[in-house]
Chain A
């Protein structure tokens, strides 16, 4: 059976496609090194419109005003350019208030589009451009630790990683955060209080990685100016030993945080990448994986929600549970040695 999976891997090769939805300008070359916030490709599209009522401005009828307009649809105009002019004893002019392009003229009303919004794709982590996709973007590659999460607030950043999680379960406390953390990426336990987020903003953290985050705080976390990722779950989720060990061993390394939202439909998932100098790692596991004996799994259902275990045995026949559910299941051994039985769909394999 194809398994749900998450990558929490201390050493792997990571390739990511960074691509625009439409052809634009690619700003990188093959082999170029890029950092997290570097723009790989971009495209500019117009943002706003301005409508000018020429008849009203010149004090003329619509019919007469139309004759005074000097521009036509498609023309580029700059601020102060004369759009329409009335001569005579009392001259009047209508000028463009913006730099833009004339879109339409009807009933002596001139519509100008102006401004631009940029659609761009960023590298999301430090690495090398492996391959340029002409007009659209590039494949960026690096090697290092990869930690995929469950929730992100949509921001990206890169910084020195500081681990504030004293053990796997301690809540991240605002009292632990002082000005020495300014500009760093902080790893902590579950974030359960608004004070913690406020403190993080006060001292201008570069990024915040937590094991869990209280659902009530998600809106505020979404508005924070720095990336926030919840690695394990929502609420009082704590680190498992495997993840905690990786985090603890990476102290003072540079971490690249791409806190994109987890989209089940598009496959994108928030992730922290900690590049390393050793480039000999295998490629990350991208193919579907099957459930197998010995795999480390995260349990996704109460009463063992977010705990990790190892698959001891795959049960051949479907198992019946108290509520009447019948499912393919596995015997798993929790970190405390307890054996439990869970349906396979309630297990996420940690790769």
Chain B
């Protein structure tokens, strides 16, 4: 349960520190309702010692002052807190971060199978680089393991294994091994230990480890053979990451240290947001896709459990050659509307590696950006589908997403003039099936609201209900595997005054039916010729209410899974047609 503070803050400053950009959001309470007041942005800059410079923080806040007419900074650039009058200072400050720090972790499990894979699930989407996997049964001698532990100098050891009440001797041996390995090191070089295994060994662990290393004990992630519960341990892990992050980036404004009330890694904050959004919208789980080119990430939430995945983990030091290997020309070319050469792709990847966050300014670079972003997105989605048990329920048999709501977020939301490209990219990547709502985080607020929930869960709720994260479209995407250009859907939109518009839609199309922002309508949908409205079952007819949104009703009859056309030319023509259709939708 999220905590509710006794005294609700009147104003809240949310700071989101990313690799490229710092965003500051102001949330104000008026008549007991929280509302989002505005955003300020500035490029992230780092000092030679690796900490975020105070000036870029101040720049972002000054911009926020301009957009909201709310004074935040004092004469020495310190944040005025608490709020001491109308429009002066803020009561609370929350921080969320995706600017990575180097947190090297070694996973140590009881067995090479379950324990290690559970630990990998635990670290999924967390800002941590796994540098080695070890287990009591991996065949390496204690001497070899100790040599590795010493030579790799991890920042964190995640120790898992055993069900509660199970045998403890092997775990005790592992604990002894860790103690022996790190005792000779100076205190600052000893890693922190996160234990999430058999609780029966906790007493021994605390007695042996606590005197020499920082120890965190979280509930067992697998308390019994049929239960895997990662959430409590993820929270502890997030705390550890927060602490290491704050140590690296000693945040200041002017000569004053920045004092904050809550801090959260952006992936977890995003998961919190979609969980709360799901509760507000009464949906059965949701997805958030943070569209950021090579660094696209996806978060999923279902029944209070959540996870995230990023294909290119920003914490892992990739090199340019690896990047080129991961994106072969044939794979990228399949998602582009035009020809590219290997040299074009290589140039794009290496310059993106050196200077992330650049913007494509020509049609060709934009197409390349889109191709690489789709491939990254698809791999991220595949990664999230393969890692955990629970998102299976969010995955349709065709491999696409099967959810009631999808949030699209990331810098593309405020970098593009309209959202057609964004919607198309999401549809291509997730290939969602059924009838679902798409929300757009156009100001990059979602992660901040997820963190703000730590202060008061009403803050995100009020902002969601106040349309701070508006609906982009109601999307209808039937399951269909047949030929193109056959009538498969009849959609009738019935307005409140009884006026009806009927559209017959052929397969292979992407069209929109605009609605007024506040319009309330009913949609009557009939599927035929092999199309089904949902992945499971044989629903052919349905009538549902919906409301207006930025793009209205969007119908995607391009099939699920989308067919990769035979031959590159045909595939390019198909991609090009989708892009044109998406552009038409915007008009």
Q: Which residues of A contact B (CB under 8 A)?
A: 1-4, 16-17, 21-24, 43, 45-51, 101, 103-104, 106, 111, 113, 117, 150-151, 215-216, 218-219, 233-235, 261-268, 286-288, 300-303, 305, 320-327, 342-343, 345-346, 348
Contact = CB atoms under 8 A, between A and B. Distances in A.
A46 to B, nearest CB: 5
Contact of B320 (A218, A264, A300): A218
Nearest to B141: A51
A17 B353 CA distance: 26
Nearest to B370: A323
Nearest to B411: A345
Contacts of A287: 53, 55
B224 interface: no
B43 interface: yes
A348 B356 CA distance: 12
B143 A103 contact: no
Interface stretch (B68-76, B303-311, B343-351): B343-351
Given A265-B46, A267-B50, A286-B48, A323 B185 contact: no
Contacts of A51: 141-143
A344 B359 CA distance: 9
A308 to B, nearest CB: 15
B50 A321 contact: no
A188 to B, nearest CB: 19
Nearest to B179: A104
A111 B143 contact: yes
B543 interface: no
Given A22-B189, A46-B184, A264-B19, A327 B50 contact: no
B73 to A, nearest CB: 16
Given A45-B186, A106-B176, A233-B354, A322 B362 contact: yes
Interface centre among B51, B147, B176, B364 (most CB of A within 10 A): B147
A43 B48 CA distance: 23
26 contacts: A23-B188, A45-B150, A47-B150, A47-B151, A49-B146, A49-B150, A51-B141, A111-B180, A113-B184, A151-B320, A233-B354, A264-B46, A265-B100, A266-B102, A267-B47, A267-B51, A300-B358, A321-B360, A323-B360, A323-B365, A323-B366, A324-B366, A325-B361, A325-B415, A327-B359, A343-B358
Interface of B: 19-20, 42-43, 45-51, 53, 55-56, 59, 99-102, 141-143, 146-147, 150-151, 176, 180, 183-189, 317, 319-321, 324, 344, 346-348, 350-351, 353-367, 369, 415-418, 420-421
A326 B416 contact: yes
Contact of B48 (A267, A303, A305, A326): A267
Contact of A45 (B185, B355, B362): B185
A305 B429 CA distance: 29
A308 B556 CA distance: 44
B466 to A, nearest CB: 25
Contacts of B189: 21-22, 45
A1 B56 CA distance: 9
Given A265-B50, A265-B102, A286-B48, A302 B147 contact: no
B180 A2 contact: no
A1 B43 contact: yes
B147 A48 contact: yes
B359 A345 contact: yes
A80 to B, nearest CB: 20
Closest CB pairs A-B (n = 9): A323-B366, A22-B188, A266-B50, A267-B46, A234-B350, A2-B43, A288-B55, A49-B146, A49-B143
Nearest to A347: B358
B186 A23 contact: yes
A301 B99 contact: no
Nearest to A306: B351
Contact of B361 (A48, A150, A346): A346
A266 B420 CA distance: 37
A323 B143 contact: no
B362 A323 contact: yes
A305 B347 contact: yes
A107 B31 CA distance: 71
B320 A234 contact: yes
Contacts of A24: 186
A104 B320 contact: no
Nearest to A289: B45
A288 B50 contact: no
Given A264-B46, A343-B359, A348-B355, 9 more contacts: A49-B146, A104-B176, A288-B55, A302-B351, A302-B364, A320-B417, A321-B366, A323-B360, A324-B416
A288 B47 CA distance: 9
Contacts of B358: 300-301, 343, 345-346
A262 B150 CA distance: 26
A325 B359 contact: yes
A111 B181 CA distance: 10
Contacts of A324: 366, 416-418, 420-421
Nearest to A5: B45
A349 to B, nearest CB: 11
Contacts of B176: 104, 106
Contacts of B56: 2, 288
B280 to A, nearest CB: 30
B49 A267 contact: yes
Contacts of B344: 302
Contacts of B47: 267, 286
B359 A302 contact: no
A322 B363 contact: yes
Contacts of B348: 302
A216 B344 CA distance: 14
Contact of B360 (A23, A46, A301, A320): A301
A1 B143 contact: no
A301 B354 CA distance: 11
B143 A325 contact: no
Interface centre among B20, B100, B102, B150 (most CB of A within 10 A): B150
A198 B48 CA distance: 33
Contacts of A150: 354
A309 to B, nearest CB: 14
Interface centre among A16, A106, A322, A323 (most CB of B within 10 A): A323
Contacts of B142: 49, 51, 111
Contacts of B20: 345
A323 B362 CA distance: 6
A224 to B, nearest CB: 15
Nearest to A116: B184
Contacts of A17: 48-49
A325 B360 contact: yes
Given A111-B142, A265-B100, A301-B360, A326 B415 contact: yes
A93 B101 CA distance: 50
Contact of B99 (A219, A265, A325, A342): A265
A261 to B, nearest CB: 8
A50 B180 CA distance: 12
A215 B351 CA distance: 11
B501 to A, nearest CB: 28
A115 to B, nearest CB: 10
Interface centre among A46, A103, A265 (most CB of B within 10 A): A265
Contacts of A302: 344, 347-348, 351, 362, 364-365
Contacts of A343: 358-359, 361
B417 A326 contact: yes
Contact of A233 (B42, B48, B99, B351): B351
Contacts of B187: 22
Contacts of B351: 233-234, 300-302, 305
Contacts of A321: 359-362, 366
B46 A2 contact: no
B545 to A, nearest CB: 32
B294 to A, nearest CB: 13
Contacts of A327: 359, 415
Contacts of B151: 47, 117
A148 to B, nearest CB: 11
B60 to A, nearest CB: 9
A24 B184 CA distance: 14
